[in-house]
Amino acid sequence: MRVRRTSRRLADGREIIYFDDTPDAPARTAQDTRPLGERAAAGEIRYDALVGDWVAVAGHRSDRTFLPPKDECPLCPTGTGSVPSEVPERAYDVVVFENRFPSYAPVSSFHSDGHTDELHLSRPALGRCEVVCFTSDHESTFAALSASRARTVIDAWADRTTELGALPEVEQVFCFENRGQEIGVTLHHPHGQIYAYPYVPQRSADLLQRAREHYDRTGRLLGADILAAELHTKERIVVDTEHWTAYVPFAARWPVEVHLAPRRDVPDLPSLTDEERDDLAQVYLDLLGRLDRYYVGKDDTPIRMPYIAGWHQAPAKQGRDVSRLHLQVMSVLRSPKKLKYLAGSESGVGGWVNDIPPERVAARLREVAR
């Protein structure tokens, strides 16, 4: 087996899973000796009847760790800083653990008072939130990983998608990475997150509805038709390989936005073959490298791109027949020194305005290839 998987428990009972691809990696036996007490319980989700969506209310997250100094990083291996971290081992390849400050968790502190009505629906925020540490190197980035290590992250995403999607309370699994303070990260260490929602979030529900309507009308997958159209026109294609295609979407909303889609129709990450995962590791690293060369400063020094990267997969319990996997990478950086703010139009009514033509973004990403 290429990756060794080891599941352990932290001091408060949360699960931690090591994914080791180093052949001589030591057995993961270190104990978490911190006096953590009971694990944090999630709060509640409340139904917004005005738009038909749920909102998590998680007051305990106000106390979560915020941009600590390197020697107090909770994602570095224990023993490398001044305090014990969330990872008891002194080194690791890739590690996943339940978030200490979860929006959704297997346990909830919410108890109904019995006075709800159809306009004030609420229920426990049952689900799971996990942290994915891509490397033990605090100063690194996903883009700096080896292809082998990126493949291990992909395997970890697939593993967690399968396990979390099988939980009875989970309806949607979303793997994502936030990078850069401009995006709002609270920890500098290279990491991502996985949210296992107890409902299908509005964006995912919208994607599913559009996919269902297209399939009922044409008998074809919407994602496949969009990819075919982009491959036909070619002007927004960034990378094209045997198994994957990266392109800037025709109606991109963000200043810099790229979609990465498999050539084969698959609903989620676990459905990818070994060959598709190997190719994905190479293509994704290529794409992230281009993003980091997209902007340069006055001295021609590349400016590291802040971004959100999220995997859109089929919901856990529905829609597999019409859903098609794709990655969306988006950035708020609209010039080397200017950010795109979601102000009145975008935040108020969802009316997006993009100052940068998608064709220009695609041309620049092709230009910075290596």
Q: Which residues are catalytic?
A: 191
Q: For residue 12, what are its two tokens?
A: 């408060």
CA distance linking residue 283 with residue 143, whole number of Å: 11
Q: For residue 349, what are its two tokens?
A: 């009514």
CA distance linking residue 315 with residue 176, whole number of Å: 15
CA distance linking residue 48 with residue 35, whole number of Å: 38
Return the closest-CA partner of residue 224 out of 266, 252, 276, 258: 266
Contact 226, 211 (CB under 8 A): no
Q: Which residues pair with 256 in a beta bridge?
A: 331
CA distance linking residue 134 with residue 96, whole number of Å: 9
Q: Which residues pair with 262 in a beta bridge?
A: 244
DSSP class per residue in 25-52: PPP----------SPPPB-EEEEETTTT
Q: Helix or strand or coil: residue 326?
A: strand
Residue 63: phi and psi, rounded to 5, are -95, 10
Return the closest-CA partner of residue 313 out of 201, 216, 226: 201
Q: Rg for the chain (alpha carbons), in Å?
A: 21
Contact 55, 202 (CB under 8 A): no
Q: For residue 162, what are its two tokens?
A: 């399968």
Q: Which residues pair with 95 in a beta bridge?
A: 18, 133
Contact 331, 306 (CB under 8 A): yes
